[in-house]
Amino acid sequence: MSAAATADASAPAKPKSKKLLFIIIGVLVLALVGVGATLFLVKKNQAEDGEDYAAEETQENQAPKNDPKNPPIFLPLDAMVVNLADEGGNRFVQLAITLQLDDPKVAEDIKVYMPTIRNDILMLISQRSAEQMLRIEGKEALTQEIVAAISRVMGYDHEDPNAEPEPEAEAKGKKPQRKRAVSNPIQGVLFSSFIVQ
């Protein structure tokens, strides 16, 4: 009887050892999946950080850098007082403009044409209302128009950002071509004083 009892006792032990083996394998598989997922997430975060760093470097490289050997030239214009286009004609703006140029020779050339340039700037300003002059968008549009006006007087190439695409290209079904950015010695228009009354 003891041999039969021993056989019965050893028979149920095999299924328990198989269950234990499956449980251990399952735990190991889950642990490996967890480690793999963690490594994947860590690498993904490092790659995103690297892309952000690369994007920041690219933006820094594209930003114009000040060259201490060739600083910009600043040409202040005389202060202007201009009536605005508001109803009643009792609003005006008093402003002082400074041009930022890339070459001292350009400053000398602009001085020769200063009466025409001042006239064109006065005409541009007098077409605006006080509300337009007080908005940041109005000031930005004015600076672009001043650069365009000076460029026309001086004969510099200038791409008008507000220019409409050519209707001929649209009529022919062609995609309007983008113009290349042109080199303009006028780097900016700066307001050193801007008072609307």
Beta carbons within 10 angstroms of residue 129's beta carbon: 15
Q: Are 191 and 97 in contact (CB under 8 A)?
A: yes
pTM over 0.75: no
Helices 114-126 and 136-154 meet at what angle, rounded to 10?
150
One pLDDT digit (tens) per residue for the chain, 197 residues: 555 555 555 555 556 677 888 888 888 888 888 888 888 887 877 766 666 555 555 444 444 456 677 788 999 999 999 999 988 878 999 999 999 998 899 999 999 999 999 999 999 999 999 999 999 999 999 999 999 999 999 988 876 655 555 555 555 555 554 444 457 899 999 999 999 98
Q: Which residue has the tokens 């020769």?
A: 112
Gap between the Cα atoms of 176 and 164, Å rounded: 10
Give Cα separations from 96 to 78, 82, 85, 118 (angstroms): 7, 11, 19, 11
